[in-house]
Structure 1
Amino acid sequence: MPRPRKSLICLDETPYYHCVSRCVRRAFLCGKDRFSGKSYEHRRQWVENRLLKLASVFAIDVCAYAVMSNHTHTVLRIDKNLALAMSPEEVLSRWHTLHNGTLLTRQFMNRDQRPNLSEAQIKTVFSCVEIYRKRLYDISWFMRLLNEFIARKANKEDECTGRFWEGRFKSQALLDESALLACMAYVDLNPIRVGKAKTPEKAMYTSVSRRIAKAKVNKQPPELLPFIGDSQNSKLRGLPFRLEDYLNLVDQTGRQLRSNVKGAIPQNCEPILSRTGLTQTDWSEIVSTIESNFSSKISLSLVKRKTGKRYQLVG
């Protein structure tokens, strides 16, 4: 029997989670329908745009993602401290970018109408604020607003109704840094494993290709959780690895041939830093500008380490 979602997501154990959503239709989420000849490739952009928009609203960071032909992978980090530190105005401003809220919350956000609200009405608004605040660090709400949005657009395009996804998303808690690193690499390498791309930098609609493009100009994508290495600065928030090391790990892992997967990075490819021109990247500049580029967030939450357990990644 499946476990309830609330028992799978526990912030006392870890803020990091791997989420998978699978499409139920023969026509798939993306790709080309071999029966009708119709292409659904444009839907990959739908998913990527929506995912990154939600990340800008929620107190949830995107660590890695891959938009596949019939499913999506995301590695997310919940930043509960960020949500708790938000003012009522910021909570409502964020929520109103996705939903209308209530008449009272809209009046509260209107500087001209706010003085007309009674004490009881203000109290009602603050009750709504706390509801919305909890939703802003809730993975279930994040995935719901991602999947429902895509399902509605796909149904409208297909001129049909009915279920688009296979029920609710699947989630896995990543309980230590090793599990986090392995899962991120697994997600970023998905297009290569199924034979849709030869190298990570050519794998469209993945976090790794986005990170490589930005690294070429000594930057990190602001819409993704940045790599901060082993920084001791408590004001920084990000992934506790060096971007250079992560890219090398992805490259080396992607070269390993396995009998149960279709593809791998060709063995005769140059190392990733050479073939993408990243040997000329000023890695120290990337790290040194993190604080100025990402100062709008609050301090990094540490992953609570677990030992003596095995972790399994969803395919």
Structure 2
Amino acid sequence: MGYARKSLVCLEDTPYYHVVARCVRRAWLWGYDAYAGKDYSHRKAWVLHRLRCLAGSFAIDLCAYAIMSNHYHLVLRVDRQQVARWSHAEVVTRWTRLFGVPPLIERWQDAGVSAGERRKAEQLIEEWRQRLADISWYMRCLNEHLARRANAEDECTGRFWEGRFKSQALLDETGLLTAMAYVDLNPVRAGIAMTPEESEFTSIHARLQQFQGERPVPARTKKGSRGRGNHPGVPPLLAFRDSSDPNRRAIPMKLLDYLHLLEWSGRQHRAGKRGVVAGDLPPILTRLRIDPDEWLGMMRPAGNRFGRAIGRLERLQSHARHLGQSWIRGLQAARRLRLA
């Protein structure tokens, strides 16, 4: 049974969500399609460019991303406090970066409206305000733009995405950490990169180059060539807790802890040591009381045994109650993931 998107996104439970969109028929429409003999790798840069554009409009932060050959992952944070602080004028400015300006709003901007029209204009602006903190509208503005651009290049019509995007609520720090690591390790798991720093078109690749004071540039592909087209640079990413700006919104963990955990997880996966725990267990696993064997299982292909939400057992149960459900997929996975 499917659920309406509005019932799956519950900002009272969490502002963090993991979303996935996949090309129709899982075709390699973002990479090299060996069957068709065509290289679509340059389209990955389109995603980065569009994410940069959306960052200037939406009150939605990007925590992590991975752009693969036939799908992409995003980890998003909705900032309702930020959108609530915007003035009517700022809402209009942000919305009209993506859409046209209706005549009513043009008259409102010129102060040439009656009292009744002003109320209608302000009602419309409030509707835009809600949309600018809405993940469904964010994904619509991303996927429709990409589909139209790809279809125009291919001189064809029809569906580009196999269906609506999938989403998972990340109910706590454990859920957020699990989803971000799963996303950042996608190219390593798929065998198209040996290390996170070689994983082009991922947030970890961008963070590491920024950490080293380098400008992110395209990495060499498996065939030894670079993607076609200009690299647009990376979209702005939500900072980690150890940011130099204490007032900045931040991911609730330290960057070095996250890098250590990611390196450890990727090393275990590449070595194929199923169930073997490294002696230098990352401190963050201990602090969050996460079972390392179960963590490694989650990092493997098809290892995500959660459904529409990831988090501690009690948070999953609370989230299910908010959705009006008596059960939610992932309860057993949550029990296994935690240490006794």
Q: Which of 223, 239, 245 is matched with 2:251 structurally?
A: 239
Q: Which residue of 2 aligns with 1:257?
A: 269
The offset of 1:153, in angstroms, is: 0.6
Q: How does 1:201-220 map to 2 (within 5 A)?
A: 201-217=197-213
Q: Give structure 1 stretches of 5+ with no counterpart.
A: 261-266, 268-303
Cα offset, 1:37, TM superposition? 1.7
2:162 partner amino acid: E
Question: Please, what TM-score do these two structures have when normalized by structure 1?
Answer: 0.78
1:173 to 169, 172, 181: 169
Task: Say which SS state the counterpart of residue 268 (structure 2) adopts.
Answer: coil
Query: Structure 1 residues 119, 215: CA separation in 2 closer, same or farther (over 3 Å shift)?
Result: same
The correspondence of residues 99-110 of structure 1 with structure 2, limited to 5 A, is: 99-109=99-109
Separation in 2 of the partners of 1:62 and 1:194? 23
Q: Which amino acid aligns with 1:62?
A: L
- C-alpha change, 1:213 and 1:192, in structure 2 (3 Å) is same
The corresponding residue for 1:186 is: 182
CA distance in structure 1 between the partners assigned to 2:107 and 2:197 by the alignment: 47
Residue 206 of structure 2 aligns with an amino acid whose one-letter code is: R
- Please identify runs of 4+ aligned residues in structure 1 that moved more than 6 A: 218-222
Say if 2:138 is the partner of 1:126: no
TM-score when scaled to structure 2?
0.72
> Where does 1:4-23 land on structure 2 (aligned, <5 Å)?
4-23=4-23
Residue in 2 aligned with 1:50? 50
Q: Name 2:196's counterpart in structure 1.
A: 200
Residues in 2 aligned to 1:53 and 1:100: alpha-carbon distance in whole angstroms: 15
Q: 1:205 to 1:258 in 2, by over 3 A?
A: closer
Q: Quick check: 63-72 or 249-258, which moved more?
A: 249-258
Deviation at 1:49, TM superposition (A): 1.2
2:314 maps to: 307
Matches within 5 A, 1:223-234: 223-229=236-242
1:75 is paired with a residue whose SS is strand
Between 1:304-313 and 1:91-100, the stretch displaced more is 304-313
The answer to whether the 8 Å contact 2:62/2:77 transfers is yes
C-alpha RMSD over aligned residues: 2.8
Q: 1:85 to 1:306 in 2, by over 3 A?
A: farther
List per-residue Cα deviations over 1:235-279 (Å, max 9, x = no partner): 43110111111111111111123799xxxxxx9xxxxxxxxxxxx
Report the CA distance between 1:167 and its aligned residue. Answer: 1.2
Report how far residue 134 of structure 1 moved.
0.3
Total equivalences in the alignment? 267
- Confirm or deny: 8 A CA contact 1:56 1:223 kept in the other structure: no
In structure 1, the residue matched to 2:157 is 161
Unaligned ranges ≥5, structure 2:
217-233, 273-277, 279-310, 317-329, 335-340
CA deviation after TM superposition for structure 1 residue 166, in Å: 1.4
Q: Tell me if structure 2 keeps the 8 A contact 1:229–1:239.
A: no
Partner of 2:133: 137
Deviations 1:126-168 (A, max 9, x none): 0111010000000000001101001001111111111111111
CA contact (8 A) 1:59 1:79 kept: yes
Is the Cα contact below 8 Å between 1:33 and 1:39 reproduced in 2?
yes
